[in-house]
A and B are shown apart, each in its own frame.
Chain A
Amino acid sequence: MINPPVIEVKNVSKVYSGVAAVDDVSFAIQAGEVVGFVGLNGAGKSTTINMLLGFLHPTQGEVYMFGEKVTLPNAATSHQKMGFATGDMALFDGMNGKQYLEFIARSYKTSTNSDTYKKLVAKFEPQLDKKINTLSRGNKQKIALIAAFMSDPEVVVLDEPSSGLDPLMQQHFLDLVREESEKGTTIFMSSHYLNEVIDICSRILLIKNGKLVKDIPTSELEIGAGKLVRVVTKAKVSPPKAAEHIEHEKRIDSYVLQFLYKDKALRLQEWLGSLPHLQDVTISDHTAEAAFEDLYDVEGATNV
């Protein structure tokens, strides 16, 4: 028997004043998956997450958590099995970190004496005795992440979770997600840190202008394969045959051609040698960011 997805979004749209912030988005996430949700600012990531959590009602479509339809009045039922954190989470600033986490623990009917809590505190080393409104963004973020994971949730939804963390804490966060993934926790996270998404997610959802434009396993992302080539010439030139993700740009007195190249270096060398009036050449590694840019542009162009 196939288990229903723990998160299921069916043809969901959210329209504000006639403008669709999320437009007919559908996806499903199975138990134990770690899924990254990627898109530019304003693409619709947070709005989608807000509908999953029952903060916003979809203008059309339906959201299911653990097989149950999420409505605004009943969303709290699914929250018992969920953790949630955002990069700019508004914590209750009249409390200190310890009081805040005790409040969260009582809300989940758990305790700050649990092993999970102790492990999280040991990992992130938050400043628990200071009032929350005196903490830096990174320290608030640590508390928000502990709160999201401390109840041993089945599903954790994270919206830009590591923004504000220093590199060491960011690494601790990635380790935590890996450990949770090994335990079978489902994690759905949006992030601007693409290396982070590629590092820990098994699947990536790409959203652009409110539409889901790509849903692919991370392994299918062509990261590190090939070189990003950028040439500046006086006259417009054609790219080599093996070029992918080609971009042309006309400047006042020159032309810029950029493409991804995965073929033999010798052929690229020959092609470069054949270029008339070559002004500049840049050859760089095809980074995660570049891979996403390619994916975003190409898919966006065909789907939006």
Chain B
Amino acid sequence: MFNLLRKTLYERRFFILGWSLGLAFLGFAMTSFFPSFSGGEIDGLLESLPPALQGLVGNLQDWKQLPGYIGSQVFDIRLPIFASILSILLAVGITVAEEDKGQLRTLVALPISRRKIIMAKWLSIVIICFIASLAVVIGVEIGVITIGEDLDQTVLVRLGLFTWLLITALATLIFAIGIASGKRGLTTGLGIIIAIGSFLLTTFAQSVSWLKDYEWLSFLHYFPAPEIAKGTVEWGNVIFYLTLIAVSLLVAFIFFPRRDIKAV
């Protein structure tokens, strides 16, 4: 299994490198903007926004303190978009894209059980998501050093770990759809609906009153980054993502070993 895990990671080395650099830059760039936000340079502009639109840019009070700013501007508003794209590309690439190319058939022809294939591929997702989350954290850390601020390291540890959990859960869900169904359109479509739908639902629920009742359906409802940055970790949210991972894996383990592999 570790042979396959190593192979999967090796084949995605440029994907990992590219995304890590990109996410680290996101963390660094957004953190380096903090002095402008905290110094009141754009307070006037933001206060002139209608209340409904203020919801789209996050809680203004969060911007005054570095932990709240990072939680809101990096992890709550921007990271989920990129995390969603990362999850979809990674999970689709590792499942249905390989099957469409015939590489999954080559793999299944080897003396590697289908269960081990699931485990190795999923572990590669876990590792890649960890590296991506770590890259954001490192980017933010470099940004904090650059602007000469102090930040309690536990804030970044909490946010980093929760981000890891979020991306892993989303990628695992899409992975399970892909490996269980073998259908590229279904996997990509559902992945986009879940990821982008969640982002839109959570973002606009702050401004569109009737959406508030459905916001719990969003994948991001369970990732309140500003609260996590301030030190509040709701274990119910952790359990939600862990349960989702477990159920997704269960689906993968039930369906993949019993379904036909697509012929090319």
- Whether a CB of chain A sits under 8 angstroms from the CB of B221 is no
Q: Is the CB of B259 within 8 A of A90?
A: no
Q: A272 to chain B: which residues have CB within 8 Å?
A: none
Q: Is the CB of A56 within 8 A of B261?
A: yes
Interface string of B1-45 (1 = CB under 8 A from A): 001100100111000000000000000000000000000000000
- Whether a CB of chain A sits under 8 angstroms from the CB of B150 is no
Task: Knowing A57-B260, A103-B3 are in contact, say whether A92-B113 is a contact too (CB < 8 A).
Answer: no
Q: Is the CB of B263 within 8 A of A89?
A: no
Size of interface on A: residues with Cβ below 8 Å to B: 30
When the two chains form the complex, which single residue of B12, B103, B257, B261 contacts A55, counting CB atoms closer than 8 Å?
B261
Size of interface on B: residues with Cβ below 8 Å to A: 27
In A8-36, the 8 Å CB interface with B consists of none
- Whether a CB of chain B sits under 8 angstroms from the CB of A114 is no
Task: Knowing A90-B101, A94-B10 are in contact, say whether A76-B260 is a contact too (CB < 8 A).
Answer: no
- Whether a CB of chain B sits under 8 angstroms from the CB of A202 is no
- Whether a CB of chain B sits under 8 angstroms from the CB of A98 is no
Interchain CA distance A55-B99 in the complex, whole Å? 12
Interface string of B102-117 (1 = CB under 8 A from A): 1101101111111110
Q: Is the CB of B264 within 8 A of A79?
A: no
When the two chains form the complex, which single residue of A53, A57, A77 contacts B109, counting CB atoms closer than 8 Å?
A53
Q: Is the CB of A106 within 8 A of B108?
A: no
When the two chains form the complex, which single residue of A50, A72, A92 contacts B263, counting CB atoms closer than 8 Å?
A50
When the two chains form the complex, which single residue of A73, A79, A88, A99 contacts B110, counting CB atoms closer than 8 Å?
A79
Q: Is the CB of B111 within 8 A of A55?
A: no
Q: Is the CB of B263 within 8 A of A46?
A: yes
Interface string of A45-70 (1 = CB under 8 A from B): 01100100111110000000000000
Task: Knowing A92-B11, A94-B10 are in contact, say whether A107-B110 is a contact too (CB < 8 A).
Answer: yes
When the two chains form the complex, which single residue of B106, B111, B259 contacts A76, counting CB atoms closer than 8 Å?
B111
Name the residue on B nearest A73 (C-beta): B257
Interchain CA distance A4-B102 in the complex, whole Å? 32
Q: A193 to chain B: which residues have CB within 8 Å?
A: none
Tally A-B pairs: CB < 8 A.
79
Secondary structure at the B interface, as helix, strand, loop or mixed, is helix
Q: Is the CB of B108 within 8 A of A90?
A: no
When the two chains form the complex, which single residue of B3, B109, B114 contacts A72, counting CB atoms closer than 8 Å?
B114
In A69-95, the 8 Å CB interface with B consists of 72-77, 79-80, 84, 88-92, 94-95
- Whether a CB of chain B sits under 8 angstroms from the CB of A291 is no
When the two chains form the complex, which single residue of B108, B116, B264 contacts A54, counting CB atoms closer than 8 Å?
B108
Q: Is the CB of A77 within 8 A of B111?
A: yes
Q: Is the CB of A107 within 8 A of B3?
A: yes
Interchain CA distance A95-B106 in the complex, whole Å? 14
When the two chains form the complex, which single residue of A50, A55, A76 contacts B113, counting CB atoms closer than 8 Å?
A76
When the two chains form the complex, which single residue of B10, B110, B259, B263 contacts A95, counting CB atoms closer than 8 Å?
B10
- Whether a CB of chain B sits under 8 angstroms from the CB of A108 is yes
When the two chains form the complex, which single residue of A46, A75, A80, A95 contacts B108, counting CB atoms closer than 8 Å?
A75
Residues of A that sit less than 8 Å from B by CB: 46-47, 50, 53-57, 72-77, 79-80, 84, 88-92, 94-95, 99, 103-104, 106-108
16 additional A-B residue pairs with CB within 8 Å, beyond A55-B109, A94-B11: A55-B263, A72-B114, A72-B258, A72-B259, A77-B111, A77-B113, A79-B112, A80-B111, A89-B102, A90-B105, A92-B11, A92-B103, A94-B12, A106-B3, A107-B3, A107-B110
9 cross-chain pairs, A with B, having the tightest CB-CB distances, nearest first: A90-B102, A94-B11, A80-B111, A73-B257, A79-B111, A76-B113, A55-B261, A106-B3, A84-B109
A-B contact pairs, 29 of them (CB 8 A): A47-B263, A50-B261, A50-B263, A54-B108, A55-B109, A56-B261, A56-B263, A57-B258, A72-B257, A73-B114, A73-B115, A74-B113, A75-B108, A76-B113, A76-B114, A88-B264, A89-B102, A90-B101, A90-B105, A91-B103, A92-B103, A94-B10, A95-B11, A103-B3, A103-B7, A104-B110, A106-B3, A107-B3, A108-B111
